[in-house]
C-alpha cells in the first residue's frame, strides 16, 4: 500500500525552555525504527520552533500548530505560511478541534487555510472529528465528511496532506476510541476520498488517529488496517512518545 506510518506530537500550548530541552533530549536519545518505517513530526508552540528544529535529531521534522489563512500583512498576532517556509518549517497542523471549537474556525476557513498553506509549499496535517453529541446522534460520518469536503473542494493535490481523525470526546479525556471505532471512521473517510476525490488519493493518503493515544493503547490501534499513525497530545510530552513511535513496527511485522 505504501502509506508510511506517521507519528505527530502536538505539544499544544505547553512548555518552558527547560521542559523543551528535556523533551528534545528524550526524542534525540530514543531508539526508534528507521525513516523507512516511520515519519515523525513534532509540533511545539511557535516560539520554540526554531530552537527545537535546530536541536532535534535530523530525521525528525517539526510542524507549526496553525498558520494564517492567507498572505501575511496587517494581521496582528498571526504567523503566516510564508514565515514558516522561510524558517524551514515543513509541516503545519490545521483545523485542530481546539481551534474549531474555542476559536470558532469553520470548515470553510480551515479549508481555505489548508489550500493556502499547500500553495506555499507546506505539508499539512488536517484535523477532523466529531463531538460527543454528534457521535451519540449517529452523525459522526456526516460531520467528518463535511469537514473533509471543505478541504477537498479547495485543493487538487493531496500528496502533502495527512488527515488526522481526532474525535473531540477522546481528546485529553483519557477516553480513547476503541480500535474498532477508530477503524470504522478511518475506513469511512477512505471510502469518502475514493468516492469524492479518487481511488489513488484514498489509497495513498495517510489517515492518522488522535485522542488519548498512549504507550499502552497504541499497538492495538496501529494494528487496524486503516490507521496509518497517530497525532499525540499529552503523551507526546513524555518518554512514552518513543513507544508510540515504535508502534509503527506493528505494520511491518
Ligand atoms: O488533540 C490531540 C492531538 O492533536 C490529542 O490530544 P491527547 O493525546 O492529549 O488526547
pLDDT per residue as tens digits for the range 110-156: 999 999 999 999 999 999 999 999 999 999 999 999 999 999 999 99
Query: Taking residues 190-218, what's their average pLDDT?
Result: 98
Q: Which atom of ligand 1 is nearest to the CA of 235?
A: 8
Q: What pLDDT does 164 receive?
A: 98
How far from chain centre, in Å, is Cα 109? Answer: 18
Q: What pLDDT does 1 receive?
A: 53
Cβ contacts of 153 within 8 Å, gap of 6 or more: 111
C-alpha cell at 188: 469511512
C-alpha 73 – ligand 1 centre gap (Å): 31
Instruction: Map out the domains of the chain with their CATH numbers.
Output: 5-252 (3.20.20.70)
C-alpha 174 – ligand 1 centre gap (Å): 10
Tens digits of per-residue pLDDT, 85-97? 999 999 999 999 9
Tens digits of per-residue pLDDT, 18-72? 999 999 999 999 999 999 999 999 999 999 999 999 999 999 999 999 999 999 9
Q: How many CB atoms lie within 10 A of CB 225?
A: 11
**Binding-site residues, ligand 1, Cβ < 6 A:** 10, 96, 166, 171-172, 210-213, 231-235
C-alpha cell at 7: 507519528
Residue 253 has pLDDT above 80, yes or no: no
C-alpha 246 – ligand 1 centre gap (Å): 18
Verdict on whether the full-model pTM lies above 0.80? yes
* Interatomic CA distance for residues 149 and 55, integer angstroms: 38
C-alpha cell at 172: 485529553
Amino acid at each position: 500500500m505504501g502509506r508510511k506510518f506517521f507519528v505527530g506530537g502536538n505539544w499544544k500550548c505547553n512548555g518552558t525552555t527547560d521542559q523543551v530541552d528535556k523533551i528534545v533530549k528524550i526524542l534525540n536519545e530514543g531508539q526508534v525504527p528507521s525513516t523507512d518505517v516511520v515519519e515523525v513530526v513534532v509540533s511545539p508552540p511557535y516560539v520554540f520552533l526554531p530552537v527545537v528544529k535546530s536541536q532535534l535529531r535530523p530525521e525528525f521534522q517539526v510542524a507549526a500548530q496553525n498558520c494564517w489563512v492567507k498572505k501575511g500583512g496587517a494581521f496582528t498576532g498571526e504567523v503566516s505560511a510564508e514565515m514558516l517556509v522561510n524558517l524551514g518549517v515543513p509541516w503545519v497542523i490545521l483545523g485542530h478541534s481546539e481551534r474549531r471549537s474555542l476559536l470558532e474556525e469553520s470548515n470553510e476557513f480551515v479549508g481555505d487555510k489548508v489550500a493556502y498553506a499547500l500553495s506555499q509549499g507546506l505539508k499539512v496535517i488536517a484535523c477532523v472529528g466529531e463531538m460527543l453529541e454528534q457521535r451519540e446522534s449517529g452523525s459522526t460520518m456526516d460531520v467528518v465528511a463535511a469537514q473533509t469536503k471543505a478541504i477537498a473542494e479547495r485543493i487538487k493535490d493531496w500528496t502533502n496532506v495527512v488527515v488526522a481523525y481526532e474525535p473531540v470526546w477522546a481528546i485529553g479525556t483519557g477516553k480513547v476510541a476503541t480500535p474498532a471505532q477508530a477503524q470504522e471512521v478511518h475506513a469511512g473517510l477512505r471510502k469518502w476520498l475514493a468516492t469524492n476525490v479518487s481511488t489513488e488519493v484514498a489509497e495513498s493518503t495517510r489517515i492518522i488517529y488522535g485522542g488519548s493515544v498512549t504507550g499502552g493503547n497504541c499497538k492495538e490501534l496501529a494494528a487496524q488496517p486503516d490507521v496509518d499513525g497517530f497525532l499525540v497530545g499529552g503523551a507526546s510530552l513524555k518518554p512514552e512518545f518513543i513507544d508510540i513511535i515504535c508502534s509503527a513496527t506493528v505494520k511491518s511485522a
